[in-house]
Amino acid sequence: QFGAGGPVTGSPAPGPPTATAAPSAAPTPAPATSPTPPAPAPPPSVFRGSLTMWATQDNLMGAQCEYANAPVNNINDPVLPSYLRSGYHCAIGDSNPGFGKGEYCGMCYKVTSLSDNGVGGTPGKRGSAVVMVSNGGPGGDA
């Protein structure tokens, strides 16, 4: 006999007789399953629209998303996200997806200009930037 501490000798202590259980069938093992991999992320939505204007950083003060309003009252405060301090922020239009009640404040979008042509005398430049929504109300499509 082997006990928990190694080889032992001896006999069981006297006691009441023990009943022997009838043999039973071995339990059936559960089928092996592979973990389900996570679903892939959906592709980003693509919107087409027009960028209506650029403005100075001071326009963050008083903007509808209120990031630089009281109690911050500063466009350079480190509490602001870097997109707002660096000037990479925008107003969102009235539709598609539209400013609504501010639910898009803080959302970031990759904006891509497809040409070097501006509109209405404003110069344009081909390229991309990531911008954060900080305001609403410029009118037109987002």
pLDDT, tens digit, 9 for 90 and up, residues 96-135 = 667 778 888 998 888 888 888 877 777 788 899 888 889 8
Determine the Cα–Cα distance for residues 129 and 113; give it in Å rounded to an integer: 9
Determine the Cα–Cα distance for residues 58 and 75; give it in Å rounded to an integer: 7
Listed residue (101, 109, 108, 96) closest to 141, CA to CA = 96
Kindly tell me the sign of the dihedral angle through the C-alpha atoms of 130, 136, 138, 142: positive
Determine the Cα–Cα distance for residues 142 and 138; give it in Å rounded to an integer: 9
pLDDT tens per residue, range 15-52: 444 444 455 555 566 666 667 777 777 777 777 766 66
pLDDT band at 5 (very low <50, low <70, confident <90, very high): very low
pLDDT, average across residues 3-13: 35
Compute the half-sphere exposure of residue 110: CA atoms within 13 Å on the CB side of its CA. Answer: 6
